[in-house]
Amino acid sequence: MVTGPRGLSIGRMAAAAGVNLETVRYYERIGLMPPPDRTEGGHRAYDAAHVRRLAFIRHARALGFGIEDIRTLLALSAPGHRSCRDVRDIASAHLSEVRTKLAHLARLERILGDTVDQCSGAATPVCPVLDMLDAPI
């Protein structure tokens, strides 16, 4: 991507990486994105490295990684700091969390599906879904 002498505006950089403009500002505030150079007029001027980093963050978020894991993954992706073992440990822990969530969602699906199947849909005062929601936990 050619950024030109002035670089990319925050809006163009956000669009190029497929994120919202406010997301870029947030990532800058929390230190995931390095501050860009500024134009003489004080506007942010991003380069291709910013776009790549933002796309990396977006991909990691899409996979459900948390901010601190992304911070660590970014550090591990830097030249001279790569450690596939460390990255694997982070990804394995995240995979375990995803599998736990999937098992929980499958259980919820079964419970809700069974309850909905018991519901006749008739206009009666008896409703298995409401009874289930009102039951003590």
The predicted pLDDT at position 125 comes to: 80
More confident residue, 127 or 30: 30
Task: Look up residue 91 and give its two tokens.
Answer: 């990804």
- Using DSSP, how many helices (H) and how many strands (E) does the chain show? 6, 2
The predicted pLDDT at position 2 comes to: 38
Q: What is the phi/psi pair of residue 119, to 5°?
A: -80, 125
Least confident of 12-16, 87-91, 120-124, 129-133: 120-124
Q: What is the pLDDT of residues 13-52, one digit of tens each?
A: 999 999 999 999 999 999 999 999 988 888 889 999 999 9
Look at residues 11, 13, 9 and name the one whose alpha carbon lies nearest to residue 43: 9
> What confidence category does residue 8 fall into, taking pLDDT thresholds of 50, 70 and 90?
very high
In 4-126 the beta strands, taken as DSSP E runs, fall at 37-38, 44-45
The predicted pLDDT at position 5 comes to: 52
